Structure 1
Amino acid sequence: MDHALDALPDDVAALRAELALARSERVAAEEALRIKSASHSTLAAEHAVAQAKAAEDMAIIAHQKLVIEKLQRQIHGQRSERSARLTDQLEMTFEELEATATEAELLAEMAVSKATHVAGFTRSRPHTRLNFPEHLPRERVVVPGPTVCDCCGSDRLRKLSEDVTKTLESIPRRWKVIETVREKFSCRDCEKISQAPSPFHTIPRGWAGPSLIAMILFEKFGQHQPLNRQIERYALEGVPISLSTVADLVGASCLALVPLIRLVEAHTFKGERLHGDDTTVPVLAEGKTITGRIWGYVKDDKPFGGTSPPSAMFYYSRDRGGEHPQAHLIKFKGLFQADAYSGYGEIYKPGRSPGPILEAACWAHARRPFFIMADVEQNARRKAEGKKPSVLSPIAMEMVRRIDALFEIERGINGKSPEERLAVRQTLSKPIIDDLEPWMQDQKAKLPNGHDLRKALNYMLSRWHAFTLFLTDGRVCLSNNAAERASRGIALGRRNWTFCGSDRGGQRAAAMYSLIVTAKMNKIDPQVWLADVLARIAGHPAHRLDELLPWNWHPLTQSKTEAA
């Protein structure tokens, strides 16, 4: 330090010169950093704009194909049932692409706002504004005007005019248009014009109220009603809305809910134990459909007396590769209950970062093949229908009896603490397990290779540590039914929506399933919750978003009462 001071010049002029040089170098470095940051923002904005333009082009192409098909049907008539299905397919494809285009446009606007020299991008919409039917009742909500001038504080104000924002809203089975009036006042002293600020919209350029948006989202993702079927019903009720308009609404509102989805995701993977499962979902591809996957992860601590709120997180993938669950569970450590899918193998390896994942197998899944070969009632039905009955296996019947005895013990300890559950299992379940393994080994040795019973027995014996983990950890459940229950709606919905229109549509569906299933698990009406959240999220402080999560949520009216 002393050597550095000794090296400095003694006279003031020289010191000033060195100081000026140091300052100029610092300014140059800061300017270079600013240019680099601006360049990065510019590239990101240009990329976002290009993606938005590409998404708009795809939506326009899909719309033109749909128009052409409908015109051909008008000219030539409906040629076959296949042509009707083709129109439905085109409508669903257009629905997904329109929602994707709107989402991409909003992302481009966000990126452009951070850049300085990138032109913005606005989609050209055929229907930029709805003409609300005149027969719908109107409700005027007048925002109180200012009582004093914002400029000089004078109270001598006179009304000049008013701005009216029209919002289409739905109150269960009753439609109305809400006209939000903001009166303008001018000051008699300084002529300054004052007006209440414009209210927050649920989504940019919003024409629909939060209850209407919630109804559309819940019917699409919760009740599995495609948008084209929804708008048919709306038209019959006297409110015609175009498919593109509603698809815009879905894309924009799903984007608005992303912060909540990220909070649900973080909460889910902080759990001590997760249930995992996946189910197929057809996805429309070029000239065909492919089989995509929806992966579900459920956190539910109630069986072992946990107080953490339950939640579920879903993801979409185009295939069933093992890299998908590995990516989903990259930050998770703890117990994982799932089937024996080989793609999970990597996550169970010792020395994994950030911590180990312990495999807990599903006894309900293992029981199914035995139950099929021991189903006396099903055999009786087949015989009554004149069909050839299946061969009942005494080994399978005995296996089902022993597994059912384990489940009977579990019913008595459901909801108790891990310590209580473990004590009962050591007393009642462990003797059954100790006797079961040698019995299974003995029966397996008697069966020929390739026999279905041998395969079922080997499935369990090869994973015996995972099947018996419940004897050493009271948090483990005997079954993976929690994950299967959460995914049940997707399996039922496939009959309605037939397929996802695109990969982006699958991702959007998985995100909305996460919110809807989580609300149901917390005994909350998903549509009521979504309506309230959508009404508040635009103006809600970002650091208090956790207040809107289903397990923390209180309706807006209740919150106002509590505050008062």
Structure 2
Amino acid sequence: MDLASELAPFSPSPELLLWTENRVGGLLEELKTRETEIHWRDAKIEKLTLELLYLRRMKFGVKSESLALPERDLFEESLTADLAACEAHLEQERQAADMGPPLPPTEKPKRERAGRQPLPVQLPRVEHRHEPDSCTCGQCGQALVQIGEDVTEKLSIVPAEFFVERHIYPKYACRPCETITAVPAVASVIDGGLATPALLAWVMVSKYADHLPLYRLERQAARSGVILSRSTLADWVGRIGVALEPLWQRLTELLRQCTVLHADETPVQQLDPGRGKTKRAYLWAYRSNALGADPPIVVFDYQPGRGGKYVVEFLGKWHGALMVDEFAGYQGLFRGEVIELACMAHARRKFFDLHQANGSPVAAEALRRFGEWYAIEATIREKSVEERARRRKETSQPLLKAFHLWLLSTRQSVADGGALAKAIDYSLRRWSALARYATNGFYPIDNNPIENAIRPIAIGRKNWLFAGSESAGQRAAAIQSLLETARMNDIEPMAWLTNTLEKLPSWPNSRIDELLPLKPLNNPA
């Protein structure tokens, strides 16, 4: 019997074969779609997990790369809300993926208490001597002899105290000549104004360094029985802003003479009266090289947007090396004669956040390698430019080349879309600019100096909330440039501004550099 003929009745029809083939193809396509969905869901869960643990560390952590305690307190409400929202999103994703219960909450670590810090030696001392009621012995009546003393120091304060300065100009006459002699009135930065330079400096430092709104200064004055209306205070602020503008312009000119600059930007809200709302503007920051021998300078520039044209307008024809983040607005500069330097701290932070979130061994290895060349920088920071260049060439460059090869090799085994892939891609994408610092002894390794200069302003936004106008933003940028530069030069802002406002009305423009808050240029008149 023919086996083929016997099996013929059991052979599937062409229609069944076609249906089976289509069904299998559909199932394979559905499986592929499911695998893609699972991959992206896993990536999203990983991203949310990373964000959640990052927010928890920002709120409870006290280690490096986290905000300091006062800053965490300032952002407490926002962090709490962000944590709740992130936990809710993550819980939804985990339930959708059937991955079990949400992550347990992180316990707040205990903080070690520091001992009492010594009181600053530069503070004036007021002595209070506590002598016995009698200088004779209470038992035998003999005179007491001092054999020593116990001294304790306590910190005290005299709150802001208002007082009136009376300027008296006697007039003398010569009867035979029929002439009158009197000393000319002292020039004032505000003609006919009520305030002394010290009071004007107090208002400006309180508003722009301590970020206190004018209505709070109005209340402080009222507690002392002094009526200073907000309109009066605002008038002083506007006039002093105009008086200080030449100093800001000169500071900007000196900054543009530097061959290496740091740049960054931070958003601020600006009132938009036409719509009854606020709109976003930007405070651009530029700082001189932290590795340079010249006194540090920081200049803020207020602009209505974040476009690269504002950087081009500010820097003009400046040529040099510019340390920036990955913002695309800077890229137009690097097509000309401006050299790009990328921030190594930004690249490190990607791996740091990943390691804090899930203890990734790959991230740990990256952090170890980052630590190697940061350790080198710590030992050569105070060296000469030539010595720093030599050490970087001998030690840092080989380590950087090895790290680059390690990143390329590791990336081949890492799936796209995950946090680790993004961290590696960030470094690879900017590698030339990241490693460029090691080719020169004058280039900085990261952009931390400019971020430190911006941080007080970012914190101050909690108080002043928004700029009232573009002019107000430009005025704030100019004054904050001067006050922040004074701080970086270890110059007390209140004393500097008081002294400057006293001299400014009669000061020759040819000697304007002597008024700038730069230590080497501060020659007392």
The one-letter code matched in structure 1 to 2:287 is V
1:445 is matched with which residue? Answer: 412
Deviation, 1:497, is 1.1
Whether 1:223 and 2:210 are equivalent positions in the alignment is: yes
2:234 is matched with which residue? Answer: 247
1:468 is matched with which residue? Answer: 435
Deviation, 1:177, is 1.1
5 Å-filtered alignment, 1:199-348, equals 199-285=186-272, 286-301=275-290, 303=291, 306-348=292-334
CA distance in 2, matches of 1:328, 1:431: 37
Change (3 A) 1:399 1:518: same
2:509 is matched with which residue? Answer: 542
Give % identity: 37
1:371 is matched with which residue? Answer: 352
The one-letter code matched in structure 2 to 1:243 is R
CA distance in 2, matches of 1:323, 1:554: 33
Deviation, 1:193, is 3.2
Any idea what the Cα deviations from partners look like across 1:425-477, whole Å, max 9, x if unmatched?
Answer: 12221221111111101111222222222222222212211111112111111
CA distance in 1, matches of 2:242, 2:373: 46
CA RMSD of aligned residues (A): 1.8
The one-letter code matched in structure 2 to 1:223 is D
The one-letter code matched in structure 1 to 2:403 is L
If asked which structure has higher relative contact order (CA below 8 Å, sep 6+), I would say 2
Contact in 2 for aligned 1:300/1:309 (Cα 8 Å)? no
The one-letter code matched in structure 1 to 2:344 is W
The one-letter code matched in structure 1 to 2:345 is A
Contact in 1 for aligned 2:491/2:519 (Cα 8 Å)? no
Contact in 1 for aligned 2:513/2:521 (Cα 8 Å)? no
Change (3 A) 1:212 1:527: same
5 Å-filtered alignment, 1:518-529, equals 518-529=485-496
1:138 is matched with which residue? Answer: none
1:86 is matched with which residue? Answer: none
1:181 is matched with which residue? Answer: 168
2:48 is matched with which residue? Answer: none
CA distance in 2, matches of 1:288, 1:553: 45
Deviation, 1:172, is 6.6
| Larger CA deviation: 326-335 vs 187-196 | 187-196
Any idea what the Cα deviations from partners look like across 1:220-248, whole Å, max 9, x if unmatched?
Answer: 00010011111111111221211101110
The unaligned stretches of length 5 or more in structure 2 are: 1-157
1:410 is matched with which residue? Answer: 377
1:73 is matched with which residue? Answer: none
Any idea what the Cα deviations from partners look like across 1:316-356, whole Å, max 9, x if unmatched?
Answer: 11111111111111132111111011011111113xxxxx2
Instruction: Determine which structure has the larger strand proportion and give its number.
Output: 1
CA distance in 2, matches of 1:238, 1:374: 57
Deviation, 1:204, is 2.5
The one-letter code matched in structure 1 to 2:221 is Y
Contact in 2 for aligned 1:546/1:552 (Cα 8 Å)? no
Contact in 2 for aligned 1:338/1:360 (Cα 8 Å)? yes
Contact in 2 for aligned 1:269/1:331 (Cα 8 Å)? no
Change (3 A) 1:294 1:559: closer
Any idea what the Cα deviations from partners look like across 1:55-109, whole Å, max 9, x if unmatched?
Answer: xxxxxxxxxxxxxxxxxxxxxxxxxxxxxxxxxxxxxxxxxxxxxxxxxxxxxxx
Report the count of equivalent residues.
366
2:481 is matched with which residue? Answer: 514
The unaligned stretches of length 5 or more in structure 1 are: 1-170, 351-355, 376-389
Normalising by structure 1, what TM-score? 0.63
Any idea what the Cα deviations from partners look like across 1:185-206, whole Å, max 9, x if unmatched?
Answer: 3331242333322210122232
Contact in 1 for aligned 2:295/2:520 (Cα 8 Å)? no
CA distance in 1, matches of 2:465, 2:458: 10
Deviation, 1:552, is 4.9
Normalising by structure 2, what TM-score? 0.67
| The structure with more radius of gyration | 2
Change (3 A) 1:554 1:205: farther
2:10 is matched with which residue? Answer: none
CA distance in 2, matches of 1:231, 1:368: 43
1:358 is matched with which residue? Answer: 339
The one-letter code matched in structure 2 to 1:471 is A
Whether 1:197 and 2:184 are equivalent positions in the alignment is: yes
Change (3 A) 1:369 1:553: closer
Change (3 A) 1:553 1:408: closer
SS at match of 1:183: coil
SS at match of 1:295: strand
Deviation beyond 6 Å, 4+ runs, structure 1: none
Deviation, 1:544, is 1.0
The one-letter code matched in structure 1 to 2:164 is V
Deviation, 1:534, is 0.3
CA distance in 1, matches of 2:232, 2:194: 10
Contact in 2 for aligned 1:370/1:400 (Cα 8 Å)? yes
